[in-house]
Amino acid sequence: MKNTLLIVGVFLAVASALFAGGASEAEAAPEIAKNIMEMSWDEIVAQAKEEGEVYWYNWFLQDALRPLMAGFEAEYDIKVTIPDGTGDGNRQKLLAERNREVGDIDVLSNGGDIPNTMDFTQLFYGPITDILPEGSKLRTAINGGDSQGYGVAYWGNQTGIAYDPLRIDEADLPQTVEEFSAFMAANPGDFGFNYENGGSGPSFIQNVARHVASDVDFSDPGDDADKMARLAPVWDWFNSREDQFGVTGGNADSLTRLNDGEFVLVPAWEDHLAGLQNKNEIDRRIRFYIPEFGMNGGGNIVSVPLNAPHPAAAILLVDWLTSAETQTLFNVEMGTAPQHPDADASKALVPMEQRVHQTDWAPNPFGRTLMAEFIANVIQD
């Protein structure tokens, strides 16, 4: 159902006590004559240009994303500001400002699972897929959540296995849990993974668990004692191989030690690896694949708060972020998995045919409890 909130009159500047650099620094926001959800696309574009600026609260890679906004700014003559901030901090700011007539946030990024814990229908315009020109092509369900059109996917990420092709041929890459077991037995110490400071190792752990404890429902968020007890064979699988794998300090540590020759295979994030290679911090010889037994993937969404100071410019930025052209740009520059079906993914680290092996993250509290049990039964045991 479309929001019926009408934003009428002149928006006044409101000082933000919580975060510096927000839209409250503007002298005044333009007059909005009608609900943004009731405007034609031409009206939205015209109003957006009159607003002239937009504040996008995105919690990661702010420094890398800021220069990529030049294309939007040149096309529409609308300035994009990406303030510093964390995901949790940005959401707390949204909630703290929800009763203000005008907030500071125009566009808010969230993990695709956040709609499971926040009522997007009470906080954001929507369904914005009804007014975006290519709304029917955009994803609203990602990362185990579904925004119901109150947010759209703009960022796709994928875990997989990074490897050194100087030390293992592509034809010999392990594809199943049984093949990983055989690789570790034949090459003790050549495979390493993390259990904290990033999700690449936890993705490997979850997917081994799916295979070993095949009677456990990984789509169910429940974490009752009986369900957790049925994961005992998973802990046995890891403990029986504890001399065959290494434990790293996190996503970055895994890739650094792979790059330096300590490991042959490590779990990694596609976009993280691509970003480090683009900055020449990881050698471009390092490659990436998604094994057939699966690795978790997901992504992030963008939404427009009901009290956005520049709602038309916000909707226009969302359209630009999710367009095939920008999704191609993000793939080339940031290593993301494109979220528009017409985007060019030819520069991605993995071919499209491997993406069929993507699996979903186990929902919380089960996913969180699974990792706590792994630490208690494997790392600390």
Q: What is the pLDDT of residues 212-246, one digit of tens each?
A: 999 999 999 999 999 999 999 999 999 999 999 99
Residues 293 and 307 in one domain: no
Same domain flag for 194 and 206: yes
Range of the domain at 291: 157-297+347-379
Q: What is the Cα–Cα distance from 53 to 310, expressed in whole angstroms?
A: 7
Distance of alpha carbon 65 from its chain centroid, rounded? 14
Q: How far is CA 326 from CA 153, 300, 343, 358, in A?
A: 12, 15, 8, 23
Is 6 a member of any domain? no
Q: Cα–Cα distance between 140 and 188 in angstroms, integer?
A: 42
pLDDT at 34: 58
Same domain, 186 and 324: no
Whether residue 5 lies inside any domain: the answer is: no
Q: What confidence tier does 275 reach under pLDDT thresholds 50, 70, 90?
A: confident
Domain assignment of residue 368, yes or no: yes
Tell me what pLDDT residue 168 has: 98
Token pair for 237: 């699988």
Question: 351 burial class (0-12, 13-18, 19+ CB within 10 angstroms)?
Answer: exposed
Indicate if the pLDDT at residue 206 is higher than 80.
yes
- Specify whether the backbone of 280 is left (phi greater than 0), alpha (psi in -120 to 50) or beta: left
Is the pLDDT at 9 greater than 80, yes or no? no
Is 76 within the bounds of a domain?
Answer: yes
Tokens of 329: 């740009």
Q: Contact, 133 vs 41, CB < 8 A?
A: yes
In a domain, 351, yes or no: yes
For residue 101, pLDDT beyond 80: yes
- The burial of 137, by beta-carbon neighbours within 10 Å (0-12 exposed, 13-18 middle, 19 or more buried), is given as middle
Q: 340 and 57 in contact (C-beta within 8 Å)? A: no
Q: Is the dihedral of CA 253, 255, 257, 262 positive or negative?
A: positive
The mean of the pLDDT values for the chain is: 91
Residue pLDDT, tens place only, 239-271? 999 999 999 999 999 999 999 999 999 999 999
Q: Examine the domain organization and report whether 368 and 273 are in the same domain.
A: yes
- Whether 322 and 359 share a structural domain: no
Cβ burial 278-289 (10 Å sphere, 16+ → b, else e): eeeebeeebbbb
Residue 312 has pLDDT above 60, yes or no: yes
Token pair for 110 = 């969230």
Q: Are residues 317 and 286 in the same domain?
A: no
- Render the burial of 307-324: b for 16+ CB within 10 Å, e for the rest: bbbbbbbbbbbbbbbbbb
pLDDT digits (tens, 9 = 90+) for 20-44: 344 443 333 444 445 899 999 999 9
User: Does residue 115 sit within a domain?
Assistant: yes
Within this chain, do residues 208 and 166 fall inside the same structural domain, yes or no? yes
What pLDDT, on a 0 to 100 scale, did the predictor assign at position 352?
82
Q: What's the structural domain count of the chain?
A: 2
Q: Judge if 207 and 280 occupy the same domain.
A: yes
Task: Give yes or no for a contact between 81 and 20, defined as CB atoms under 8 angstroms apart.
Answer: no
Q: 196 and 58, same structural domain?
A: no
Q: What is the CATH number of the domain that holds 186?
A: 3.40.190.10
Do 292 and 303 fall within a single domain? no
